[in-house]
Structure 1
Amino acid sequence: MPATYTHHFDTPVYKGSVTINTGLFINGKFVDAVDGGDPIDVINPATGELIVKVAGGTSKDVDAAVEAAGKAYKTAWGLKVPGWERGKLLGKLADLIEQHIDELAALESLNVGKPLNIAKNADIRSTINTIRYYAGWADKIHGKTIETTENKMAYTRHEPYGVVGAITPWNFPLSMVSWKIGPALATGNTVVLKPSEITPLTALYLADLVNKAGFPPGVLNIVNGYGSTVGSAISAHPSIMKVAFTGSTITGRKILKASAESNLKKVTLELGGKSPTIIFDDADLEQAIKWASSGIFFNMGQACTAGSRIYVQEGIYDQFLQGFTKVAQVLGNSTGSPFEQGTQHGPQVSKTQFERVMGYIDSGKTEGAKVHVGGERHGNQGYFIKPTIFVDAKPDMKIMKEEIFGPVCTVVKFKTEEEVTESANNTVYGLAANVLTQNVSRAIRMANNLEAGMIYVNSTQNSERNVPFGGYKQSGMGRENGEYALETYTQVKAVHINIGLKL
């Protein structure tokens, strides 16, 4: 039997104990890896110290999870269970998450490093709302009758794929799980989930809640592991009919290739971004500063929609930069443990990510951009980086072209709408774009002309669970959230019934 781990929190903002099982969750039970696996170190990013080791699976564990999921789909889920019943169980799961919101938020903060109030009121609250949203959709999956001739009845059915794989990232661990399992389970699929090996703790806690909610064994299986083992096994598995992935564009390419080389499984990819934030002279300056700051520094810049390229029209450039700088300095002075009062800015999630972001900062300096504020680590413990603003950056610099995934941005002056539209679209990514202006015609025009899957007008990064989320170009394919996500978890069957045609 796998071991359990209890973490005792005695901090200024949270006191209590939280227990998780450190094994793999397959067929409704926690189990050890088949061959002992490769135990995974889970690190506290605020200190760099080990929290706990969890089981790491292999392809054999994925096989076991797929077998359990396939059996559950055929016998206790899928088309064997009416939508209202699936919705009822999802609703129970949302209620249980809400009952344990404090414990889950504490685990998320410990594992990711984000301030506790944000983990609770943004991440875990979003998880609850997303699962409730899809609970409501579970009995509303239907096709159409199609008029043909008087001698035929034709209709469509939207049916689940069966076993689907879900591979989730480390920046919003539990909420990204909900984006996958919500629509997958609502539409009748069973799931094999691989949470990020960096941040598996809340997914493991969720497994117990899945059992308490009453889901049949095998409906949701969780296999911890590395991308090169568990992720690859899910991507290439011949009995997994669909994979949903959130993460880097490089890994997304590998998953798409694995689909092509295995069984042509359906793939949805939510990948990287290099989002522009465009601020016109007529914008509400105070609000523009706040939204631009949230757009890049929220979650320590670890968001695919982060507005890391900030374009400011020349008439307000100096005023904006002055106010924006103050916000960055306040965040820098409010950097620290996620469990301290007043913390607004935490660490990067891992040593690897810390070194990656610092590498980009060094690249910016080397290529001639000027560090306006920040540009260095904070303290000497953990993986903290000061909020960083570059100026005098050129379009061909790495910090302008590549996704940094940290609290680093460039502020660039522009003159005309046509000029900034061209600059904003000059990227291989197309996930999101932000436009701040009080000119309604300009806002609509920019929304039409920007090459991105999501446009935020007079705001940044404020997505909604009932509005589709996804990108253009190399930012991925398919959509998550809203009704649009349901389409990616169902396949359409056309039925032709002859009621009078004779040969």
Structure 2
Amino acid sequence: MTRSYDEWKAAAAAMEFDGRPVIGGVRVAARSGETIAKTNPATGEVVSQIHACGQEDVDAAVAAARAAYEAGEWSRAGAGFRRERLLAFAGLIEEHADELALFDSLDMGKPVREAAAIDAPGSAALYRFYGEAIEKAEDLIPVTPPGSTALVTREALGVVAVIVAWNYPLEIATWKLAPALAAGNSVVVKPPVEASHSTLLLAELAIRAGIPAGVLNVVTGRGSAVGRSLALHEDVDMLAFTGSTEVAKQLQQYAGQSNMKRLALEAGGKSSNLIFADCDDLRLAAQKAAFGSFYNQGEVCSANSRIFVERSVYPEFLELYAEAARAYAPGDPLDPETGIGALVSEAHADTVWATIERARRDGTIAAGGTRPEINGSRAFIEPTIVTDVPADHEVHTREIFGPVAVVAPFDSEDEAVARANETPYGLAASLWTGSLARAHRVSQRLVAGTVSVNTVDALGFTTPFGGFKQSGFGRDLSVHALENYTDYKTTWMQWG
């Protein structure tokens, strides 16, 4: 059911927040007794106190996960058992979709309309996808010499740690949790301190769905305490992460310093969008470009924030792009008519705004470039289009993680590809062309985990998502994500 602005505000006012972690199936207080005030970035109001966990809490959560794994009620249960409980879990997520959406909206500022219509239902559907997929997985019997048989099976790794980014708290948690749980692992999740509540609710819903206590634990707190402790923990078998490249590199070091745990790292991005003059619909390309760069306040790791346009259509595209950007005007996240919401915090907005001011000094602000105050908060920034800056300017090279995009012309296909690949990242890219030959030729040359042709930032449950270069390794989504959380075991039987 679609709610009105007043209905969303009333529902938000009635929300109850509990910032305690979930360990062994129950809410517990952090051992330190410390909490972190959590504000709603759209209003500046303190909505909750997140418990600041430390090493003792991490140890307790890992011990609960290990005990659950060794008990075997989940890890050694049949795939059909796990399937039924993941399907029940998905149903409960749908029942609580509005509550989950409000948690994410009030925590990190995204429009509640999108969280309720896309993030929550999509998360429920993904648990169903992996619940069904794990029951249909097949083992192998390879050819061996006479008198022997070898069975090759995929086995769960054990205790998996998950560190979640704040831009899509519910969805990113689900991208990791669904395949990890489906495969039979036990999990300890560190949600972002900026947006912990939807993950905490997930842990409660998991118990209600019949997933045994200790299989899904949530430890709240700062990355420097909880994330570091998980990455260094000797009894964590694998760690999955979404976040910055800087932190991903640190996690690699921690894994090497401890037990050489497996890693799957989805890190930063600075994705390109190439618009060729033979594009069939330049207006659609501009509209999709605005979506690709400004949706979710531009707080998207694969945001197409570097747009290169063939010179002959550059002026027309720039005009259409600026027009399309107006659909993403910032507003109250609880208003269903809002284009984009608040950035995750005023401090983050300060950083994004400083980048815009430097771009204003060094180039041209072709559209946007304002910072409105809404509901007394300065965490809102109008979608901003930058032009006329040099290729080595920070708006070309640095992941800004806000509603800021740079547009530049190119004169040849080779130049377009070179500019697109001129980045340490390799998460995603898009291109627009009416030529099938060019679509194949250019997409093959682009260094990116996903190349979207005549659309932007395409993804689905059946296709893997992840990057090359400093965007990390391992893949989310699709059946390939199960490879992050399992490994092959060979059982060789000899009788002759």
1:61 maps to a residue whose letter is: D
Q: 1:365 aligns with which of 346, 360, 364?
A: 360
1:329: how far off? 3.2
Q: Structure 1 CA distance, aligned partners of 2:210 and 2:491?
A: 34
> Alpha-carbon deviations, 1:401-430, whole Å to 9, x = none?
010000000011111111100110010000
Tell me, yes or no, if the aligned pair for 1:274 and 1:427 is still in contact at 8 Å.
yes
> Alpha-carbon deviations, 1:329-360, whole Å to 9, x = none?
3433xx21111241112111112321221122
Tell me, yes or no, if the aligned pair for 1:371 and 1:390 is still in contact at 8 Å.
yes
What are the within-5 Å matches in structure 2 for residues 103-114 of structure 1?
103-114=99-110
SS of 1:138 mapped into structure 2? helix
Tell me, yes or no, if the aligned pair for 2:161 and 2:187 is still in contact at 8 Å.
yes
1:113: how far off? 1.4
1:13: how far off? 4.0
2:304 maps to a residue whose letter is: G
SS of 2:117 mapped into structure 1? helix
1:376: how far off? 2.9
What are the within-5 Å matches in structure 2 for residues 74-153 of structure 1?
74-153=70-149
1:339 maps to a residue whose letter is: L
SS of 2:104 mapped into structure 1? helix
RMSD (Å), alpha carbons: 1.5
> Alpha-carbon deviations, 1:86-142, whole Å to 9, x = none?
111111010001011122112221112112211111211211111111111222344
TM-score with structure 2 setting the length: 0.96
Q: Structure 1 CA distance, aligned partners of 2:387 and 2:470?
A: 26
Q: 1:43 aligns with which of 39, 46, 50?
A: 39
Tell me, yes or no, if the aligned pair for 1:194 and 1:225 is still in contact at 8 Å.
yes
SS of 1:21 mapped into structure 2? coil
Q: Structure 2 CA distance, aligned partners of 1:117 and 1:341?
A: 6
Tell me, yes or no, if the aligned pair for 1:12 and 1:340 is still in contact at 8 Å.
no
Show the counterpart of 2:416.
420
Tell me, yes or no, if the aligned pair for 1:369 and 1:390 is still in contact at 8 Å.
yes
What are the within-5 Å matches in structure 2 for residues 40-439 of structure 1?
40-283=36-279, 284-332=281-329, 335-366=330-361, 368-379=362-373, 381-382=376-377, 383-439=379-435
> Alpha-carbon deviations, 1:6-29, whole Å to 9, x = none?
xxx983545333334321100000
2:94 maps to a residue whose letter is: E
Tell me, yes or no, if the aligned pair for 1:357 and 1:404 is still in contact at 8 Å.
yes
Q: Structure 1 CA distance, aligned partners of 2:365 and 2:328?
A: 16
Tell me, yes or no, if the aligned pair for 1:291 and 1:460 is still in contact at 8 Å.
yes
What are the within-5 Å matches in structure 2 for residues 415-494 of structure 1?
415-494=411-490
Q: Structure 2 CA distance, aligned partners of 1:90 and 1:329?
A: 41
Show the counterpart of 1:5.
none
Tell me, yes or no, if the aligned pair for 1:164 and 1:189 is still in contact at 8 Å.
yes
1:298 maps to a residue whose letter is: Y
SS of 2:16 mapped into structure 1? strand
> Alpha-carbon deviations, 1:441-480, whole Å to 9, x = none?
1111111000011101111123112210000000001111
Query: Which stretch has the larger CA shift, 356-365 or 416-425?
Result: 356-365
Structure 1: unaligned runs, 5 residues or longer: 1-8
TM-score with structure 1 setting the length: 0.94
Show the counterpart of 1:15.
10
> Alpha-carbon deviations, 1:50-88, whole Å to 9, x = none?
111121211110000000000000114454211111111
SS of 1:282 mapped into structure 2? coil
Tell me, yes or no, if the aligned pair for 2:113 and 2:336 is still in contact at 8 Å.
no
Tell me, yes or no, if the aligned pair for 1:12 and 1:341 is still in contact at 8 Å.
no
Q: Structure 2 CA distance, aligned partners of 1:270 and 1:331?
A: 27
1:182: how far off? 0.2
Residues 67, 218 of structure 1: alpha-carbon distance in 2 compared, 3 angstrom cutoff: same
SS of 1:221 mapped into structure 2? strand
> Alpha-carbon deviations, 1:300-345, whole Å to 9, x = none?
100000001001111211111111111223433xx21111241112
Q: Structure 2 CA distance, aligned partners of 1:331 and 1:21?
A: 32
1:30: how far off? 0.3
Q: Structure 2 CA distance, aligned partners of 1:167 and 1:179?
A: 11
Which segments of structure 1 move beyond 4 Å, counting only runs of 4 or more?
A: none
Tell me, yes or no, if the aligned pair for 1:470 and 1:479 is still in contact at 8 Å.
yes
SS of 1:343 mapped into structure 2? coil
1:72 maps to a residue whose letter is: A
